[in-house]
Amino acid sequence: MPTFQSDHPKRLVAIYVRVSTAEQNREGYSPEHQRKRLLEYIEGNPGLNLKSRPDLVFDDVGTGNDLNRPDLDRLRSLVKKKAIQGVIVWRIDRLSRNLKHLLMLFEEFQQHEVSFISLQENIDFTGPIGRLIFQIFGSLAQFERELIRGRTHAGKMTSAEMGNYIHGNTPYGYRKVPNPGTKGKKLELIEEEKRWVETIFDWYVYQGWGDLKIAKELNNRAVPVKSVRKGKRSEWTEIRVRRLLINSLYYGHCVSITKDEEGRRLAPHEQTITQVPPCVSEVLWRQAQKIRETRKGGRSEHPYLLSGKVVDVSADLEEPRKFVGAPRTKGGHCYRRKQVTNKSTGEKLSSFELPAKQLEDFVWSKIMSAFRDPRVFVKKYLNLQKQDERVRQIEASLKALRLRETQIKDIELPNSERAYLKGVFSEERFSRIQIELNQELEHAGEKIRDLEADLEGLVWVRTEAESLKSASSELNKRLQTLTREHKKMLCGLFVDRVDITRTEYPGKKRIVEADVYFRFNLSRLIEDAGAVCTPSAQTETAIADHLNTASDNVGGRYRSGKHLIHVSARYHKIQKRSRNPNFSNSYLVSAWRELS
């Protein structure tokens, strides 16, 4: 790269000025101040043979970490065209605060024989010494920025640990109020908005409404939203409702810090959590997340009653394979298992289809035989008093454990380390305390995970029970005229799985059998119904005691469906006589028959 010499012709240089918004009015940083000093430097140093023009003065307003700046882009375009011979700035960080960006720009200048001068540092970055100094100053600029970022991150973490809300927008249902003893602000509930949050979760979990329907209903009722940015529509949208429903803040679990100071994603147990006043219970929030998982993906125009439950467990398969609902080319619908290849033998096993109607009719007939009186069955199934008490116990334990976990991580461990550094603790005592606290922290983490798993099971039972309650109200009206959607919901509740076994025999004979596993106790259903529907001589206490006993046989620990009812059936081609003269004397009808 050539250097400036006094006997050379004057070289055309561009002046580049940048300020961030916060720096515009500070002495030494304003655009006017930078331009004035740079022009004085060019005019006051004739030995450098520099000159410039008004059209070569470039101004940008924005952060020094971003290269996407309009005037910088125009300047770089002139450099690539070799329309200028130099670039002059007031300080090196005016060009960029990022070392990687600085080096990239400097290489660009070198490639096109463009010199670079920084006035404040009083250095002409040309030649090998200039390049070395350039890198040193760039490293210092980046080091300063990283120090600021580190201090900012530490400040945010400390503020969050003190119970402050450190995010920008105030969430719906809350207002920001001063946090006593700190400089920050915490969240406080707005009772009216809290009631609407509860209503939104109720619609989603218990009414089965989707995000869009909830948003429309809120707009129809003219429920105001939180203040929005200028130019944006102030109404409820599908996205707004979805974000509210998945935000753990609404059960009091505000995730404040998710990344470290380098921008790397932290593991869940390393993230900083701030406890805020809850709008809904944790079990209700988890119900909503469980339901959201089941509603993912598109929906078929034809609801398959046993979708996701039919599995091929034939002996010639290396592992069970699921059937999927699919239309048939000849009309109708089926459950189809795709062609698979045996990895050990290389043998290809052809696809396998089961007519959907016959299998669904068989399973549905067994459910209807159990539903002699759906009202009574629901009363038995919805006995959740014991589970409600268990939910309260788990939530109280989780709250205490999470508080203790925060105390260890944010107070006791740092305090012991500071005491050791000041000489208050000996190395032996410090090591012992660290080991004990870390062991307690690990034990608390394991206990939290176990309790969350138990709570997940309770959520599953409650979700299933509430769905059944909704379905039962329809069954009580018209048992025989249910829509396929209602039937699919009931099959989802009562059918655990359907195992299909296909056995091939010589002479192309094939036997297909099904093992259907139901989640309720068929043998006790009529007895339970009789216990509730007896004359008034039977007391409510006796009924409740009987239902408690019955419910214990319905499910395992916190989760319905562990005690399954097994019904075996075989697929048959039944020969029947035809009464229609257009058909032959007999014809075949496919059906499933229960095996004894």
- Distance from the Cα of residue 566 to its chain's centroid: 37
List the alpha helices (DSSP H) in 166-279: 191-205, 211-220, 238-246
| Annotation marks residue 20 as catalytic | yes
Q: Are 463 and 287 in contact (CB under 8 A)?
A: yes
Task: Please provide the size of the chain in residues.
Answer: 596
Give CA–CA dist 558/455, Å, rounded: 8
Helix, strand or coil, per DSSP, at residue 352: strand
Instruction: Report the 3 state secondary structure along 459-489.
Output: HHHHHHHHHHHHHHHHHHHCCCCCCHHHHHH
Which residues have a Cβ under 8 Å from the Cβ of 545 and sit 6 or more positions away? none
Three-state secondary structure string covering 494-553: HEEEEEEEEEEECCCEEEEEEEEEECCCHHHHHHHHHHHHCCCCCCHHHHHHHHHHHHHH
Q: Which two tokens stand for residue 505?
A: 């025999």
Contacts of 503 (CB under 8 A, 6+ apart): 314, 315, 510, 511, 512, 513
> Checking DSSP bridges between strand 495-505 and strand 310-312, what pairing results, if any?
parallel
SS3 content of the chain, % helix, strand, coil (to 5): 50, 20, 30
Measured in whole angstroms, the distance separating CA 418 from the mean position of its chain's CA atoms is 37
Q: Measured between alpha carbons, how far is 118 from 590 in angstroms, rounded to an integer?
A: 88
Q: Mutual orientation of helices 238-246 and 211-220 as an angle, nearest 10°? A: 110
CA distance 445 to 448: 5
With vertex at residue 25, the alpha carbon angle to CA 22 and CA 31, rounded to the nearest 5 degrees, is 100
> Is 305 within 8 Å of 358 (Cβ atoms)?
no
Catalytic residue among 20, 30, 248, 397: 20
Residues 6+ apart with CB under 8 A from 276: 165, 174, 186, 187, 249, 252, 254
Q: Are 546 and 531 in contact (CB under 8 A)?
A: yes
Which secondary-structure segment (H or E) carries 430? Answer: helix 427-477
Between CA 472 and CA 444 the distance in angstroms is: 42
Residues acting as catalytic residues:
20
